[in-house]
Chain A
Amino acid sequence: MTKNHWMILALAPLFAVLLLFEVLPLLAVVLSSFSRGGSWSLGNYGELIASGYHRNAYVTSAWLSVLTTVIGMGFALPICRLLQRVPSGLQTMILTYSNIGANFTGFPLAFAFIIMFGLSGSFTLLLKAAGWIEDLNIYSIGGLVLVYSYFQICLGILVIFPSLSAITVEIEEAARLLGVSRVTFWRRIGLPILAPSLIGAAVLLFANAMGTYATAFALAGGNAALVTIHIGELVAGDVFSDPNLADALSMILVVTLVVPILVEQLWFKRRGRHAA
């Protein structure tokens, strides 16, 4: 396979686009996050760390993401187990429509929830009539938890389902013949087999929630105390425009997302090598 070096031409356009529209823009953000008033400085980071306003947004984004990741995984795993027992045609259909759910974000999703849970939404009225709630504010953080949970569950179903094929009927039946209880089966066999894919899925869901902008913006406008919303405000807002600060905040966000991914990758590579 030595003679075909002109095949590199087929790769050139994509690599050029990835360089110009992915790698260089990111580098520009990195560089400009260290620039303040035209000179190199850590001042942007210092200001962010000192600012209770931005720290608060970071903390809110983090716990919102952790909470909706737990909710997403908690619903998606049992749903996937049920799905395993459904005929394969129906399975494909349900999975494809979960794909719609996972992509059903931004204005369409936010507005759907406003119709259902807004001030005079159907469910708000029903829940109030039933006496379950006194007040419901879909535009609050609680509303964000509800809306995020929707697409987190859908995304969870999409990413968890393929990995469940590792728990085959044979394994389950073998365990049952040996008299292993359901709880013991999951604790000693099921979860250890699935652990790598489940942790991978959780990392993806966390990144997904942490990086969500359109849905939060559509629901709560520029008022939500979330990292992505603050970045948007710093870029395009009328009041708080400070592009370099937006870059520094973006870098903190990216590091928060990249570190779990790297840890997960390294951890399972090491474990994989030991197992081999």
Chain B
Amino acid sequence: MRLDPLRLGLLAVLFAVLFLPIVAVGLNAFAVEWAGSVLPVGYTWGWFAQMVADPRFGQAVGNSLILALGSLLASSLTCVPAILAAHCYYPKLDRLLGGLVVLPYAVPGIVMALGLLRLYAGNYGIVLTGSPWLLIFGYIPLGASLYYMPMKSSLNALAVQDLLEAGYLLGVGDLKLQWRVILPCVRQGVVIGLILNFTLVISEFVYANLLVGGLFPTMQILMYVLRGGSGHLLSVLIMVYFVIVLIATTLVSLIVMRRKEAL
């Protein structure tokens, strides 16, 4: 069943509407002046240059990238081995893990942030607030499902027990089997998890604002700071953020397509 031109047109219009907010921010980032008219009066690179020259911009982008890198390292090193081990050797713990990783979908970010504040703001003698480390560890439970879902869908399609038995018969140990056989089979799931986790970290505002705030300003925090100004600088920052997310998303898209072809 192919699409007739009418439906194709409808779909095109719908997606044009979904892209409108991004177009609006893009226009505003380059608009000389945009108030009281439908389209901007003129276009300039001036706001862009002004934003890039601002020391807060470099600091925020740098902090966001440092945070993303640290977070990716910490989350992949904790999640990937655990998901593999739970699936292959501990089905009961796997069910528990499945429940724990989806918990953040039922518990809003503001509530989780509140809990972290209760625990790590000194009430129990531990002070982690104000430090990016709290974000790095706090983002692991939020990102765990992003590794869990794609890895599980790869693992479920795999005859893991047969592969392990075959390996044992050949006298190969578990570690080597995981590293050389199972992990390569779920590689794409891991990469998808990494990229989605990256998007999560650089988009996150609630934890960043409530737990750390101005002590380690990220791009989202700088957006908060810039909200009262002319709006052009904020638009430039949002566009920079958006281009970063777009690149990450395009990578996911390419990987998913390759995965479909491989199947």
Contacts and interface: CB of A to CB of B under 8 A. Distances in A.
Q: Is the interface of A mostly helix, strand, loop or mixed?
A: helix
A153 B1 CA distance: 25
B21 A7 contact: no
Contacts of A108: 25, 223, 238, 241-242
A8 B90 contact: yes
Interface string A88-115: 1100111011111101111111011111
Most A C-beta atoms less than 10 A away, residue of B104, B137, B205: B205
A219 to B, nearest CB: 10
Contacts of A15: 82, 93, 97
B: contact size bracket: 35 or more
B20 interface: yes
Contacts of A214: 109, 205-206
Contact of A107 (B2, B21, B36, B220): B220
A21 B203 contact: no
B110 A11 contact: no
Contact of A111 (B82, B83, B227, B249): B227
A115 B260 contact: no
Interface string A11-39: 10111011011111111110010000000
Nearest to A6: B174
Contact of B206 (A11, A150, A213): A213
Contacts of B234: 107, 111
A27 B72 CA distance: 27
Nearest to B100: A18
A17 B174 contact: no
A92 B254 CA distance: 9
Contacts of A24: 115, 119
Interface in B69-86: 77-79, 81-86
Given A14-B144, A79-B11, A112 B257 contact: no
A140 interface: no
A195 interface: no
Contacts of B107: 26, 211, 254, 257
Given A21-B116, A207-B106, A11 B220 contact: no
8 contacts: A14-B97, A25-B118, A96-B250, A96-B253, A99-B249, A107-B205, A107-B220, A150-B21
A117 B205 CA distance: 23
Interface in A204-236: 204, 207, 210-214, 218, 228, 231-232, 235-236
B20 A116 contact: yes
Interface of B: 1-3, 7, 10-11, 14-15, 18, 20-22, 24-25, 27-28, 34-39, 77-79, 81-86, 88-90, 93, 97, 100-101, 103-112, 114-119, 137-138, 140-141, 144, 164, 174, 196, 199-200, 203, 205-206, 210, 220, 223-224, 227, 231, 234-235, 238, 241-242, 245-246, 249-250, 252-253, 256-257, 260
Contacts of B3: 82, 85-86
A181 interface: no
A201 interface: no
Nearest to A88: B260
Interface of A: 1, 4, 7-8, 10-11, 13-15, 17-18, 20-29, 32, 75, 79, 82-83, 85-86, 88-89, 92-94, 96-101, 103-109, 111-116, 120, 122, 125-126, 150, 153-154, 169, 204, 207, 210-214, 218, 228, 231-232, 235-236, 243, 246-247, 250, 253-254, 257-258, 261
B203 A105 contact: yes
Most B C-beta atoms less than 10 A away, residue of A14, A82, A88, A103: A14
A100 B249 contact: yes
A253 B108 contact: yes
Contacts of B245: 100, 103-104
A103 to B, nearest CB: 6
B100 A22 contact: yes
Most A C-beta atoms less than 10 A away, residue of B14, B25, B111, B112: B111
B105 A207 contact: yes
A253 B9 CA distance: 41
B203 A103 contact: yes
Contacts of A169: 1
Of all A-B residue pairs in the complex, the 5 with the closest CB atoms, nearest first, are: A25-B115, A211-B108, A112-B21, A14-B82, A10-B85
